[in-house]
Amino acid sequence: MFRLKNLLAVSVVLFVVGQAIGQAKGEIVFQHTGNTVPTNEGWTQEAHGVGVEVGPVNNDLEQGINAWYVDDNSTEVHSTLIYRQTPTDAQIADANTFGWKLSTRLRVVDVDRPANFTVGARYSNGARRYGVIFGSDEDGDPIVILAKGATDERLAWGPSYTVEGAGSTYHLYELVFDPGAGSADLFVDGTQRLSGYMGVSADTKRVFFGSANSYTTGHGNYNLVQWEIVPEPSALVLLGMGAVALLAYTWRKRRS
């Protein structure tokens, strides 16, 4: 009878974990969508210098896509403009435990523009910084790079991926952190393209998008920027294993 109860209890735990894995949904913490003014969505505009223009984009490419553009045409010192939000310590802790996703759907407007920090999005948790920066090749095909530097272009280059044959069009770039692996993977339009991204050391805590480099130029139309806490299956499995181990420990104590 005791063994039957044990088996039933373990089955219940595994069932609950299985359901959680199948139904786990992310908690959207920060989001920008369409041509909405980011400051009306809770983002703080942080601007320095001159030469960076922003505004709404309506029916871009005549495809019914709305966006918010950030166009940095200046190479003057400190000419930057970003939109930022700050996660709480509790949100950062949950993201470290369960995983997180930084999603950016945008169009790189410039053609043949090296990827740099004038078009991109980043998340920093007080210990590590993770970022995607964008450019385009001579055909206008978008290039995404996993940022490894601060604002120095010579340090910025990490793994990259080019959406060949796409031209200057919108694509969804999702940087997904897996706490089990301790690294992030990049998905482009739902397909994994890069993996094992560790980020770089950083002591800031924020999520931001826009132009963060005053020495280069770039123009991005942002249809979506979103940071969410997303329970990864590996994290949930570990929780389930922990629950089973706790049950086993409890049963041993009862029998002793």
Domain map (residue ranges) of the chain: 1-24+232-256, 31-230
Question: In the structure encoding, which two tokens stand for residue 247, read together?
Answer: 């049950």
Nearest partner of 232 among 109, 120, 94, 113, judged by Cα: 94
What single letter denotes the amino acid at residue 150? A
**pLDDT recorded at residue 183:** 97
Question: In the structure encoding, which two tokens stand for residue 171, read together?
Answer: 């694509």
Per-residue pLDDT of the chain (256 residues; tens, 9 = 90+): 445 455 444 444 444 444 444 334 579 999 999 999 999 999 999 999 889 999 999 999 999 999 999 999 988 888 899 999 999 999 999 999 999 999 999 999 999 999 888 999 999 999 999 999 999 999 999 999 998 865 444 445 789 999 999 999 999 999 999 999 999 999 999 999 999 999 999 999 999 999 998 888 999 999 999 999 998 554 444 444 444 444 444 445 555 5
Angle at 176 between CA 64 and CA 55, to 5 degrees: 35
Q: What are phi and psi of 240, to 5 degrees?
A: -65, -40
**pLDDT recorded at residue 2:** 42
Separation between Cα atoms, residue 29 and residue 50, nearest integer Å: 31
**pLDDT recorded at residue 167:** 97
pTM of the model: 0.81
Q: What are phi and psi of 138, to 5 degrees?
A: -65, -15
User: The domain 31-230: what is its CATH number?
Assistant: 2.60.120.200
Residues for the chain: how many in total? 256
**pLDDT recorded at residue 247:** 47
**pLDDT recorded at residue 13:** 45
Residues forming a β-bridge with 132? 121, 146
**pLDDT recorded at residue 75:** 85
**pLDDT recorded at residue 17:** 43
Separation between Cα atoms, residue 95 and residue 178, nearest integer Å: 10
